[in-house]
Amino acid sequence: MENFTPFSSLIGGALIGLSAVLMLLGSGRIAGISGIVGGALKGQGKERQWRLFFLGGLALAALTYPAIFGAPIEIVAQSTPLLTALAGLLVGFGTRLGSGCTSGHGICGLARFSKRSFAATATFMLFGFVAVFLLRHVLEVQS
């Protein structure tokens, strides 16, 4: 467990929670990223506008973080291009079909005691664990 980072992960998680509260208190909306991206793709006018601003905020975070914290952003890919493309398709299709992802169901839905979000969160966690186990320990197509 040499990679274990309980403190920075807890603080980062709390920032995500604060973001969700700010969205709900200010605009009355759920900070669910898959819904925000999906809505930005098909929405119009005001419905598209706030979503684009939210996505702009995400980009701004990545662009300013290295200057603010004096540390680079570490992104270490875990998949080949082919598997990455497949994963993207599954995540895009699945989150829209299932009305949410880690943020909407996981962070916001659980706090609203939504039965649907509990079920969805348990399901995607389970399938995430199983997929990693199969790919890395049974089929060994990834390492």
Partner 1 sequence: MKPQTQAQAQAEAQDSTANARQFDMANALTALGAGLLFGLGLIVSGMINPSKVIGFLDLAGNWDPSLIFVMGGGVTVTLCTFWLVLRRERPLFDKQFYLPSKADIDTRLISGAALFGVGWGIAGLCPGPAMTGLATLDPTVVLFVGSMVIGMVLQQLLDE
- Our separate counts of H helices and E strands in the chain read 6, 0
Residues 137, 143: Cα–Cα separation, whole Å: 8
Work out how close the CB of 44 gets to partner 1 at its nearest, in angstroms, rounded to a whole number: 14
Q: Does 98 bind partner 1 (CB under 8 A)?
A: yes
Of 43, 99, 139, 140, the one binding partner 1 by CB under 8 A: 99
Cα 104 to chain center, whole Å? 8
Of 43, 44, 70, 94, the one binding partner 1 by CB under 8 A: 94
Residues 106, 118: Cα–Cα separation, whole Å: 8
Nearer CB in complex with partner 1: 44/56 = 56
Residues 47, 12: Cα–Cα separation, whole Å: 28
Q: Where does the chain show beta strands of DSSP type E?
A: none
Residues 100-119 contacting partner 1, CB under 8 A: 101-103, 105-112, 114-116, 119
Residues 42-61 contacting partner 1, CB under 8 A: 42, 46, 49-51, 53-61
Q: Does 67 bind partner 1 (CB under 8 A)?
A: no
